[in-house]
């Protein structure tokens, strides 16, 4: 359905995701996959004219609101700026009527512009050529640009366009906003204020228009409209055959959450700033704004530039697509915000952050843009308040991170009720917010990963140690003593595999808790010996000496499930005793979760069937703790039982397959990962793109095929390029230095752009790189 073979106007391949035929069935998928954004806001790509089933979403990062007590905090859907009511000779324009030729809608990843073109015949002898363009500025985070060009091929026509700011939208029915003031200044500048109902975040949204006929500015007096939750203007004009209209709309979005307003925020002052910005944007016009935007994107591509020479050009496009969306979804401008599991591209998961960020996305930033990695971890530091409250509420000590996070102080925001239970007909209870607890050690792990790869001691001293100590304090209080077996256990949890609820001793959870406490003990010793002042600060804040005594007494008694006689590590205490069924009917289906057509969650809980990578995650994160034989045996055992019903699963499997040297399998799984959003399944991305999977695609290439790893504080490279690839090159940050890595089947060359020297291990052998060095791409082990 989607076409990946289009080139850019200058002939460059591998940058365009396009749709060649309008399909009302694929509306949602294209809206999400082609969504635009700049980390400050995200705009779903609904078409200008309306269709049944469309979702018009504009999200501003961090503006969470709780609609009422029965719902959880979510990112509210702000007023729509994209809808145009277009009439030709008095009749509403729609692609569902008339004849459409030469249709194409494409997302240009390089310039981050959405372009839609087609020729439309109204069935009554009139023919028009339409081109719509749109971008969300990466240069001016508050600005959106839209442009429509209409050329009359067979006319004349009477054309009218109504356009404005439409706050008659909701989040699937939940209305997050109070109605605010609306105004039109000088018949040109439209303004709509809306305020969230509970969090009281003000939004000031502005829009203005400019019309040109045959390239000449024209003044058309607009019909002005203000009504409930809407402000709009309408323009009507007659166009002769051969004439063309250019209709530009620029829009600005500001909110009281914007960092720049700080503590001095007032609504009148924000309105003034917003109006001034709208006037400046209007003066610049679409083209000038767009050119600053493309310059900002050019810098992104320069920084993240990855090259893949593959027999299949789609591979590079798939990785660029991941890069594109990672930039679009990440609030690089503000450390009070995290990354949503669907980015800013849909209502799915309500804009909440999960372990997806720390485990699947953060590695990309650690190795490609460490400053952003730091900002994302600072978000978790700010979340300590909510994490401490959650621990207390649950009767534990320390910091127990929420499974789903929104505004840092919100604490736990996982909804309690989910999809239908096919047996009872009731809603299924979602247990993750209560008992999916591994998120706490995932965050500690991410802090460690960041620190060991960047050497950022400033971060650790301000934020990192505190996270690691307080999460270890949580785990120590969470452990349960089993008198009969003389060990500490962690019972009644959900591990990464969410098809198993209320399990005891999920291996991933136990190992990661152990890791978290051990890490805190290491840092305790380090600080005590080397930084007495810091040590004293944390001792006072967290009663560290007492905590250390507890860690010491418990660490070695934590139960870490071991491989059985077949080398299989039990995923939890009962997994291996459960019934095994043929999962063929449920694997790789059009829609994930097809097993729930036949079983409810309780029944699935009694089968050896997994939603996603679980023990495999352990092999990836704590790879030194397990032998290659154990990893392989478990891979084989569990993969058969894994439905990959979570988008977090395939990339981890691909990386492990690379580690095993199974290049073909690793490549196949990488492809399946790219197809989660870009594949032919028409509803795969309806609720939004899959953030973690996009981070995972980068991980497949860099951590899988290039074998990049941080092990024991050292950088490792052990490339195993897929047979289809002749080259993989990418930037890599290590200890504050930028390296450029270029891998071919024969050679690995590394350029140290920053200067100085770096140590690393290439295919198991210690090496040093000053300016640049080249090594043979063969395993010396």
How far apart CA 78 and CA 169 sit, in angstroms, is 7
Position among 334, 356, 358, 470 found at the interface with ligand BGC (CB under 6 A): 356
Cα angle value 188/194/196 (rounded, 5°)? 165
CB 128, min distance to ligand BGC, A: 42
Shortest spacing between CB 259 and ligand BGC, in angstroms? 27
CB of 691 to ligand BGC, least distance (A): 7
Q: How many residues bind ligand BGC (CB under 6 A)?
A: 12
* Structural contact between residues 322 and 697, judged by C-beta atoms closer than 8 angstroms: yes
- Going through 188-320 in order, the beta strands assigned E by DSSP cover 189-196, 202-213, 216-217, 223-227, 230-239, 244-255, 307-310
CB of 684 to ligand BGC, least distance (A): 13
Starting from the edge strand earliest in sequence, which strands make up the sheet with 41-43, in order?
36-37, 41-43, 58-60
For 86, the enclosing helix (H) or strand (E) is strand 84-88
The DSSP symbol for 80 reads B
Tell me: does residue 646 bind ligand BGC (CB under 6 A).
yes
Q: Residues 210, 282: contact at Cβ < 8 Å?
A: yes
Binding segment for ligand BGC among 25-33, 138-146, 217-225, 347-355 (CB under 6 A)? 347-355
Q: Which stretch binds ligand BGC (CB under 6 A): 162-170, 348-356, 367-375, 632-640?
A: 348-356
Peptide bond preceding 156: is omega within 30 degrees of 0, i.e. cis? yes
End-to-end CA distance of the chain: 45
Q: How many residues does the chain have?
A: 781
Q: Rounded to an integer, what distance in angstroms lies between the CA atom of residue 437 and that of residue 425?
A: 28
Instruction: Say if residues 489 and 504 touch (Cβ distance below 8 Å).
Output: yes
Among 355, 396, 450, 635, binds ligand BGC (CB under 6 A): 355
Q: Which of residues 470 and 498 has its CB atom nearest to ligand BGC in the complex?
A: 498
Exactly one of 113, 498, 639, 699 is catalytic; name it: 498
Binding residue for ligand BGC, selected from 165, 169, 692, 700, defined by CB under 6 A: 692
Query: Which is nearer to ligand BGC, 692 or 728 (by Cβ)?
Result: 692
CB-based contact 7:300 (threshold 8 Å): no
Instruction: Give the one residue of 147, 257, 514, 611 binding ligand BGC; rule: CB under 6 A.
Output: 611
- From candidates 86, 341, 618, 739, binder to ligand BGC by CB under 6 A: 341
What single DSSP character describes residue 545? H
Of the pair 361, 732, the CB lying nearest ligand BGC is at 361
143 lies in the site for ligand BGC, by CB under 6 A: no
Q: How far is the CB of 602 from ligand BGC (least distance, A)?
A: 17
Taking CB under 6 A as the rule, does residue 40 contact ligand BGC? no
Q: Contact with ligand BGC (CB under 6 A): which of 103, 132, 290, 354? A: 354
Q: Are 691 and 339 in contact (CB under 8 A)?
A: yes
Q: Which of 165, 648, 689, 762 binds ligand BGC (CB under 6 A)?
A: 648
Q: What's the CA gap between 311 and 120, in Å, rounded?
A: 38
Task: Compute how many other C-beta atoms are within 10 angstroms of the C-beta atom of residue 525.
Answer: 12
Rounded to 5 degrees, what are φ and ψ at 643?
Answer: -85, -10
Give the nearer residue to ligand BGC in terms of CB position, either 687 or 748. 687
Please, what is the Cα angle at 213 between 210 and 215, to 5 degrees?
85
Q: Which is nearer to ligand BGC, 202 or 498 (CB)?
A: 498
**Comparing C-alpha atoms, which of 416, 397, 347, 419 is closest to residue 685?**
347
| Mode of pairing for the β-strands spanning 417-420 and 307-310 | unpaired
| CB of 433 vs ligand BGC, minimal distance in Å | 12
Pairing of strands 758-762, 714-717: parallel
Instruction: Give whichever of 180 and 496 is closer to ligand BGC, judged by the CB atom.
Output: 496
Binding segment for ligand BGC (CB under 6 A), chosen from 165-173, 219-227, 349-357, 764-772, is 349-357
Q: Which is nearer to ligand BGC, 418 or 455 (CB)?
A: 418
- For tokens 């700033």, what's the residue? 273
225 is catalytic: no
State which residue, 334 or 497, has the beta carbon closest to ligand BGC.
497
- Count how many Cα atoms sit within 13 Å of the Cα of residue 161 in the half-sphere of its side chain: 23
Classify the phi-psi angles of 764: left when phi > 0, otherwise alpha if psi is within -120 to 50, otherwise beta.
left
Q: Answer yes or no whether residue 612 interacts with ligand BGC by CB under 6 A.
A: yes
Residue with tokens 């459409």, as numbered in its chain:
100
Q: Is 499 in the site for ligand BGC (CB under 6 A)?
A: no
CB of 360 to ligand BGC, least distance (A): 9
Residue 355 marked in a binding site: yes
Quote the least distance from Cβ 645 to ligand BGC, whole Å: 7
Contact 521, 551 (CB under 8 A): yes
Q: Determine if residue 612 is labeled as part of a ligand binding site.
A: yes
Least spacing, CB of residue 349 vs ligand BGC, in Å: 6
Whichever of 387 and 758 has its CB closer to ligand BGC, that residue is: 387
Q: Is 764 exposed, middle or buried (0-12, 13-18, 19+ CB in 10 A)?
A: exposed
- In the complex, which residues of this chain contact ligand BGC (CB under 6 A)? 341, 349, 354-356, 496, 498, 611-612, 646, 648, 692
Query: Would you list which residues are annotated within the binding site for substrate?
Result: 355-356, 611-612
Query: Would you list which residues are annotated within the binding site?
Result: 355-356, 611-612
Residues designated as active site: 498
């Amino acid at each position: 359905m989607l076409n990946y073979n289009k080139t850019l106007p200058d002939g460059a391949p591998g940058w365009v995701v396009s749709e060649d035929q309008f399909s009302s069935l694929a509306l949602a998928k294209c809206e999400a996959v082609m969504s635009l954004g700049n980390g400050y806001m995200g705009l779903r790509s609904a078409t200008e004219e309306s269709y049944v089933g469309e979702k018009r979403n504009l999200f501003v990062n961090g503006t969470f609101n709780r609609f009422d007590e029965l719902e959880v905090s979510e990112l509210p859907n702000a007023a729509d700026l994209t809808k145009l009511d277009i009439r030709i000779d008095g009749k509403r324009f729609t692609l569902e009527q008339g004849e459409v030729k030469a249709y194409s809608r494409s997302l240009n990843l390089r310039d981050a512009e959405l372009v839609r073109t087609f020729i439309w015949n109204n069935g009554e002898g009139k023919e028009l050529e339409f081109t719509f363009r749109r971008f969300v500025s990466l240069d001016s985070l508050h600005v959106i640009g839209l442009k429509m060009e209409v050329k009359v091929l067979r006319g004349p026509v009477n054309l009218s366009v109504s356009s404005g700011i439409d706050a008659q939208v909701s989040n699937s029915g939940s209305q997050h906003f109070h109605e605010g003031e609306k105004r039109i200044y000088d018949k040109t500048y439209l303004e709509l204020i809306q305020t969230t109902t509970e969090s009281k975040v003000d939004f000031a949204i502005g829009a203005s228009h400019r019309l040109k006929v045959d390239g000449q500015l024209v003044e058309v007096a607009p019909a002005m409209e203000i009504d409930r939750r809407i402000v709009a203007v309408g323009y009507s004009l007659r166009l002769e055959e051969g004439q063309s209209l250019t209709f530009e709309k620029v829009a600005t979005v500001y909110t009281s959450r914007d960092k720049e307003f700080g503590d001095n925020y007032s609504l009148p002052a924000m309105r003034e700033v917003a109006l001034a910005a709208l006037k400046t944007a209007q003066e610049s016009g679409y083209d000038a704004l767009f050119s600053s935007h493309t310059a900002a994107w050019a810098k992104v591509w320069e920084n993240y530039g990855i090259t893949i020479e593959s027999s299949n050009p789609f591979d590079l496009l798939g990785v660029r697509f991941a890069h594109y969306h990672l930039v679009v979804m990440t609030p690089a401008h503000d450390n009070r915000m995290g990354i949503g599991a669907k980015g800013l591209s849909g209502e799915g998961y309500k804009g909440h952050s999960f372990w997806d960020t720390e485990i699947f996305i953060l590695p990309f930033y650690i190795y490609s843009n460490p400053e952003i990695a730091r900002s994302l971890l600072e978000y978790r530091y700010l979340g300590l308040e909510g994490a401490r409250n959650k621990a207390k509420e649950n009767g534990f000590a320390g910091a127990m991170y929420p499974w789903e996070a929104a505004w840092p102080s919100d604490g736990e925001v996982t909804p309690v009720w989910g999809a239908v239970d096919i047996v009872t007909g009731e809603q299924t209870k979602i247990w993750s917010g209560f008992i999916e607890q591994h998120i706490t050690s995932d965050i500690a792990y991410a802090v460690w990963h960041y620190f060991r790869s960047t050497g950022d001691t400033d971060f650790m001293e301000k934020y990192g140690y505190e996270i690691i100590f307080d999460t270890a304090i949580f785990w120590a209080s969470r452990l349960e003593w089993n008198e009969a077996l003389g060990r500490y256990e962690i019972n009644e949890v959900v591990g990464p595999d969410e098809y198993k609820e209320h399990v005891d001793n999920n291996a991933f959870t136990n190992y990661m808790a152990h890791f978290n406490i051990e890490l805190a003990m290491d840092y305790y010793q380090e600080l005590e010996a080397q930084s007495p002042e810091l040590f004293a600060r944390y001792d006072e804040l967290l009663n560290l000496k007492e905590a250390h005594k507890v860690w010491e007494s418990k660490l070695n008694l934590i139960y870490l499930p071991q491989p059985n006689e077949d080398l299989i590590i039990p995923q939890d205490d009962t997994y291996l005793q459960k019934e095994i069924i043929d999962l063929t009917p449920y694997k790789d289906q059009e829609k994930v979760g097809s097993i729930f057509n036949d079983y409810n969650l309780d029944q699935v809980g009694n089968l050896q069937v997994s939603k996603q990578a679980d023990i495999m995650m352990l092999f990836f994160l704590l790879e030194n703790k397990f032998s290659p034989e154990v990893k392989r045996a478990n891979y084989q055992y569990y993969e058969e039982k894994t439905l990959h019903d979570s988008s977090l699963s395939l990339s981890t499997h691909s990386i492990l397959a690379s580690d095993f040297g199974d290049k073909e399998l690793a490549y196949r799984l990488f492809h399946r990962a790219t197809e989660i959003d870009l594949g032919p399944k028409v509803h795969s991305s309806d609720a939004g793109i899959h953030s973690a999977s996009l981070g995972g695609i980068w991980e497949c290439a860099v951590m899988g095929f290039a074998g990049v790893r941080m092990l024991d504080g050292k950088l490792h490279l052990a490339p195993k390029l897929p047979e289809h690839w002749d080259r993989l090159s990418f930037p890599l940050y290590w200890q504050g230095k930028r390296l450029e890595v270029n891998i071919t089947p024969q050679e690995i060359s590394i350029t140290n752009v920053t200067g100085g020297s770096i140590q690393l291990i290439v295919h198991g052998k210690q090496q040093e790189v000053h300016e640049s060095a080249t090594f043979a791409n063969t395993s010396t082990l």
